[in-house]
Amino acid sequence: MSAAYVALEGGSVVEARCRAPGTSHGELVFTTAYTGYEESLTDPSYEEQVLTFSYPLIGNYGVREERFEDERVHPRAVVARELTDDVASWLESEGVPAVDKLDTRDLVGQIREGGAMKCGISAGPDASPEKAKDALADCPGMSDHTDIGAQVSVSSQTTYEGGDGPDVALVDCGAKGSIVESLLERDATVHVLPYDVTPAEVADLDPDVLFVSNGPGDPANFEAAEALVSEFVGEVPLAGICLGQQIVARALGGTTEKMAFGHRGVNQPVRDLRSDKVVMTTQNHGYTVAEPGPELDVTQVNVNDDTAEGLESDDLQVLTRQYHPEANPGPHDTLGFFDDVVEMAGEQSRTPVTAD
């Protein structure tokens, strides 16, 4: 096997084993998930990041396309203690550099202490520490990816016909496939729209609910989606997941901020403030809602750090979640969110939406 090198923002270089060759860079983050590696690797929210698995063995149940969340692998590179041949071959076929045989416990500890950091990776026969350092030097920050939505969104409208449920306008900021599937299972018709869809195009659809998806990067860079929410709030029910919650909050006067190392895994505990019940959730985000704004109530919080996990407004018909209720990968504790969205949409008796 060839050598590989991971250059870290703090100045150190870690030697590893090449499992898929190439040179890359990105924001180094980690996930604590021990299953669901296929879902994680195809999650568009990992765009422009280098994904480190804290679980020591990745690939022990093979690679099956039916578990994919998107058509391609999204992290810029992959780091693990040990990758099976199945996963390594898959990543190589995707052109995604992958390395293993390094101390991921130490790497995760550095991220927890210093926060998510830039890194550069050089892997393969011609790999060297210098090439990894050069890749690191070229790495932009996550907030610098001002048009990251274009990398993960559909380029034109795609409609999935459902049953007799509501029409959902899903703004694709990097949507996971299981979000669409969860809505279709509830007989909704889902119109998947580009991340920069215009208010006029949404008005032409006259949807029963406007749904803003998950996605990568800084929510401040999704100005079109934020403007869309501002346009239709109070006129059509609004739902959002992950990045979608952040965009909705910003549109309604709230603020967002970057977290030290984010929430990524399948065991994040969330407490509902009304019932006082705790559920386990799947999460993947590096930004959070700092202040929800005057019109949204925080209804759920993270047990570990009290960050906002659920925002709602009965008056404006808004319902958002920071975690992934579609549970791919992860526990099924929160699948009822989609029932609530469909119910919220079905309760509406309103005039057709219009764009100013």
Which residues are part of a known binding site for L-glutamine? 45, 215, 217, 243, 246, 284, 286-287
Instruction: Give the per-residue SS3 of the chain.
Output: CCEEEEEECCCCEEEEEEEECEEEEEEEEEECCCCCHHHHHCCHHHCCEEEEECCCEECCCCCCHHHCCCCCCCCCEEECCEECHHHHHHHHHCCCCEEECCCHHHHHHHHHHHCCEEEEEEECCCCCHHHHHHHHHCCCCHHHCCCCHHHHCCCCCEEECCCCCCEEEEEECCCCHHHHHHHHCCCCEEEEEECCCCHHHHHHHCCCEEEECCCCCCHHHCHHHHHHHHHHCCCCCEEEECHHHHHHHHHCCCEEEEEEEEEEEEEEEEEECCCCCEEEEEEEEEEEEEECCCCCEEEEEECCCCCEEEEEECCCCEEEECCCCCCCCCCCCCCHHHHHHHHHHHCCCCCCCCCC
Residues marked active site are found at 242, 324, 326
Give the burial class of 352: count Cβ atoms within 10 A of its Cβ; 0-12 exposed, 13-18 middle, 19 or more buried. Answer: exposed
> Do residues 98 and 83 lie in contact, with contact meaning Cβ atoms separated by under 8 Å?
yes
> Do residues 283 and 268 lie in contact, with contact meaning Cβ atoms separated by under 8 Å?
yes
> Do residues 242 and 175 lie in contact, with contact meaning Cβ atoms separated by under 8 Å?
no
